[in-house]
A and B are shown apart, each in its own frame.
Chain A
């Protein structure tokens, strides 16, 4: 049995680890709240953009713009993979990265796939897999991505798309289901996929709008914004997921530490008791020998 001094030392180290995990959990909770706040704040904006776009498209006219029309021949597909910058968040990073790899492998034969990586963890993962073509890497997104970071990313992607370097852009991100669960998901960003006409659109079409300068020009303004807002939203959603995952992971680490401390305390008490018993036995034995 380990000596009482060794056990005491171990308990001390577990307690200090527990303090760290507890603090990390609280920090993640605060960051999660902030990210979720931003996520809620952009919702009216992105909803409205969607609404205006639906409206313009339901006008019946067939607008030809590269943002909407799928390319006839898809030769290059770009995957934007969003992972975290740091670890210690359970399976969050590895789940999304493994999913990304599956998606890339599922690319049809003859189509060239390249990846745009966001986050340090994504870079580390793909660096050790040189068979994938890395187009670019964005790291240090921070704890709550801001609008200009989202805009920079989306400008970059739109340029690549309009220049014809890529024919389709997909985003692989973690869908924020709840604080506990994040689901790796894929979404097509470009060309923009328009929902099929449904009954709701009939209602929209009742109001006759004056379009200024014109429907086509308006669409040219709104479509890039639509890409901006969807990229930014997915960025935020992944970040919120990362904070949530870290919070959950740290919570269970704290629980495990408590359990370990209880166990160690028990064996400490037992060891101490055994020592006392031995001492009493020696004294009694010594006294009996004198009589």
Chain B
């Protein structure tokens, strides 16, 4: 088991969020969800707002990742994200509030509304809530 591990590093502007050896992981790549196992071919991909799932000690862990970039090389996966949160660190109340706010903003459709931004905020909030419920 131990020899089939890959290292997962998650780096954000706020610092190194985690660096762990995991058995398998799943990335929210912009072309669709993607699984990575040991000896994966070198790859670079941009990431969507989504959920990173990884298996460690036969247990699934989840993270919310908000856009960014991933590099797979020699059994090391590096995720460069604008921001990322472990499921335990998510402030659910805040995410709920953000979701409500974004939904309202999209519903009202005021003239100066930045639709793209509001939609992104909504997606981030939804992902956060989802991740927090997963574990």
Contact = CB atoms under 8 A, between A and B. Distances in A.
Interface of A: 38, 41-42, 44-45, 48-49, 52, 55-56, 147, 150, 207-213, 217-218, 221-222, 225, 228-229, 232
Contacts of B43: 209-212
A184 B41 CA distance: 45
Interface in B60-77: 68-69, 71, 73
Contacts of B26: none
Contacts of B31: 212-213
B22 interface: no
Contact of B13 (A147, A207, A208, A221): A147
A210 B42 CA distance: 6
Contacts of B45: 211-213, 218
Contacts, number: 73
Contacts of A222: 46, 69
A208 B72 CA distance: 11
A41 B41 contact: no
Contact of A212 (B16, B44, B68): B44
Given A42-B13, A44-B15, A222-B69, A213 B44 contact: no
A213 B30 contact: yes
B67 to A, nearest CB: 8
B13 A229 contact: yes
Interface of B: 11-16, 29-31, 41-46, 68-69, 71, 73, 78, 80, 82-83
Given A49-B80, A213-B46, 5 more contacts: A48-B78, A55-B44, A210-B42, A218-B44, A221-B69
Nearest to B74: A207
Contacts of B78: 48
Nearest to B79: A48
A150 B11 CA distance: 17
B109 to A, nearest CB: 23
Nearest to B12: A45
A41 B80 contact: no
A48 B15 CA distance: 12
A210 B29 CA distance: 13
A41 B13 CA distance: 7
Contacts of A208: 42
B29 A41 contact: no
Contacts of B30: 212-213
Contact of A209 (B15, B44, B68, B80): B44
Given A52-B71, A212-B31, A42 B44 contact: no
Contacts of A42: 13-15
Contacts of A218: 44-46, 69
B80 A52 contact: yes
